[in-house]
Amino acid sequence: MIEDNKADVFLIRDALRTAGIDAHVDVVTDGEAAVKFFDRADEDPAGICPSIVILDLNLPRKRGVDVLRHMRQSQRCAGALVLVVTSSDSNQDRETALQLGANGYFRKPSAYDRYMELGDVVLQLLAGNSATSD
């Protein structure tokens, strides 16, 4: 998960748990650290490469779209699923993320019960379906 907001990290973890997704989740809190994570994975054949990345677009130190672009050029991690989870309601952000290879787009809602739908979106992606949510 590449997310700088602690409350959103908590909610995303809660949504995954509610959906019955039992996964080890690493959290990276800024875009520059995320780029370094993927670079380390490319340098170390034994390093971990995620099967799915939950990516915020509004990150400190490097924008989420730049992280996505960099990840898609990674030798080892380019094929990971990417779900953009963001507060952005911009059609341009959505189109750019999808053009750069995001597999899904989920706009962060203000209501808790709507946020919990994120778990189902992740399940859809893991099942091989694309997923977007307003």
Q: Write down the pLDDT at residue 128.
A: 86
pLDDT confidence of residue 115: 95
- Looking at residue 133, its pLDDT comes to 61
Q: Give pLDDT, residue 111.
A: 95
pLDDT of residue 71: 98
Please answer whether residues 28 and 59 qualify as being in contact, where contact means their C-beta atoms are separated by less than 8 angstroms.
Answer: no
**3-state SS, one letter per residue, for 42-106:** HHCCCCCCCCEEEECCCCCCCCHHHHHHHHHCCCCCCCCEEEEEECCCCHHHHHHHHHCCCCEEE
Please, what is the angle between helix 64-72 and helix 91-99, to 10°?
10
- pLDDT tens track, the chain, 134 positions: 999 999 999 999 999 999 999 999 999 999 999 999 999 999 998 888 999 999 999 999 999 999 999 999 999 999 999 999 999 989 999 999 999 999 999 999 999 999 999 999 999 999 987 666 65
Model pLDDT, residue 45:
87
pTM: 0.93
In order of start, what are the domains of the chain with their CATH numbers? 6-133 (3.40.50.2300)
Position 101 scores a pLDDT of 96
